[in-house]
């Protein structure tokens, strides 16, 4: 559902999408890099080389994928000997990493490449009185020396600015830039601890009075969505009222404001499958959409 929203919003904005045929996992920074950095470097360089063959920048809608691809691109472009070692490995499968095309997050495309004015020109409907808890996540901001945000790393605003183009109000809340709780393998290793991170962030958002959460990473999205169910179970004696905050991906929010059919944004559940997102009902958000925009 997040992928379909990304595809349809980019198409609406005039972007031609070229799929990276044969691309693999990024690979995940919290897993591969933690166990064997050379393997992490080679796999990421291989993925980037596929985009290089197409003559395009690889673009992702995932903070973790962005973290890996951007970090590897930066490392290899600043360390010639390391780049040589990686290319020695890639040569075994007939590939070469050149480093001419910079991996980008979709927010980077929106904010730095297209610009806010271009995005604003596509807005057809504005929300009124929609309070948004914006969740940045980790890898889109850090390590700061490998990110393109012009020095804004401790209190950035670029994501908030994109969200507020829709008329929604980004609400400040305590520890806004903390981890969702899922990263670094924590969710897989100690789910209760991961859920405790999530509990803290959800508590801060609820205390600030947000109506919805908007994120820019599928893993954060899962943790903030499914994680609410887990928090409600693990920490029911701590939290009082169970959490029930709709979690919306950035291109879903933008797409609605652009006038894109919600069914083309993964917002309309047209199946009866169990155990798939959304775990927290997004009906309150859809009610707002129906009332304010349509």
Q: Which residues make Cβ contacts (< 8 Å) with residue 126, sequence separation at least 6? A: 166, 167, 257
Q: Give the span between the Cα atoms of 217 and 175, in whole angstroms.
A: 18
pLDDT in tens, 36-82: 999 999 999 999 999 999 999 999 999 999 999 999 999 999 999 99
What pLDDT, on the 0 to 100 scale, is given for residue 271? Answer: 78
Distance of CA 127 to the CA centre of its chain: 22
Q: What is the pTM of this model?
A: 0.95
pLDDT tens for each residue of 217-255: 999 999 999 999 999 999 999 999 999 999 999 999 999
What are the E-state strand segments in 199-244? 212-215
Q: Where are the beta strands (DSSP E) in 149-242?
A: 169-170, 212-215
Structure tokens at 180: 């969702």
**What structural domains and CATH numbers belong to the chain?**
2-105 (1.20.1050.140), 115-292 (3.40.50.11810)
Mean pLDDT of 103-118: 98
Across 15-29, 173-187, 228-242, least confident range: 173-187
| Both tokens assigned to 265 | 């944004």
* Cα 282 from Cα 267, distance rounded (Å): 8
Confidence of residue 33 (pLDDT cuts 50, 70, 90): confident
From 43-47, 162-166, 271-275, the region with the lowest mean pLDDT: 271-275
Residue corresponding to tokens 């850090």: 142
Pick the closest to residue 217 from 159, 172, 271 (CA basis): 159
């Amino acid at each position: 559902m997040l992928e379909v929203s990304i595809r349809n919003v980019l198409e609406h904005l005039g972007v031609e999408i070229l799929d990276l045929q044969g691309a693999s996992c990024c690979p995940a920074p919290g897993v591969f890099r933690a166990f064997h950095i050379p393997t992490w470097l080679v796999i990421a360089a291989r993925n980037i080389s596929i985009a290089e063959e197409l003559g395009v920048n690889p673009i992702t809608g995932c903070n973790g994928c962005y973290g890996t691809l951007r970090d590897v691109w930066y490392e290899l472009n600043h360390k010639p000997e390391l780049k040589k070692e990686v290319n020695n490995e890639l040569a075994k499968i007939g590939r070469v990493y050149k480093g001419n095309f910079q991996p980008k997050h979709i927010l980077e495309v929106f904010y730095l490449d297209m610009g806010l004015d271009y995005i604003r020109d596509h807005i057809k409907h504005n929300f009124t009185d929609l309070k948004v808890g914006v969740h940045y996540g980790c890898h889109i901001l850090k390590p700061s020396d490998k990110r393109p945000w012009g020095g804004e790393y401790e209190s950035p605003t670029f994501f908030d600015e994109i969200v507020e183009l829709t008329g929604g109000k980004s609400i400040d809340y305590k520890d806004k830039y903390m981890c969702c709780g899922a990263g670094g393998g924590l969710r897989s290793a100690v789910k209760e601890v991961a859920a405790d991170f999530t509990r803290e962030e959800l508590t801060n958002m609820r205390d600030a009075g947000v109506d919805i959460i908007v994120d820019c990473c599928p893993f954060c999205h899962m943790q903030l969505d499914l994680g609410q169910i887990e928090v409600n179970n693990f920490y029911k004696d701590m939290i009082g009222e169970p959490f029930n905050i709709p979690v919306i991906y950035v291109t879903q929010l933008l797409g609605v404001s652009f006038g894109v059919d919600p069914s083309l944004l993964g917002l309309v559940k047209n199946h009866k499958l169990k155990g798939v997102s959304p775990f927290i009902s997004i009906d309150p958000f859809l009610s707002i959409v129906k009332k304010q925009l349509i």
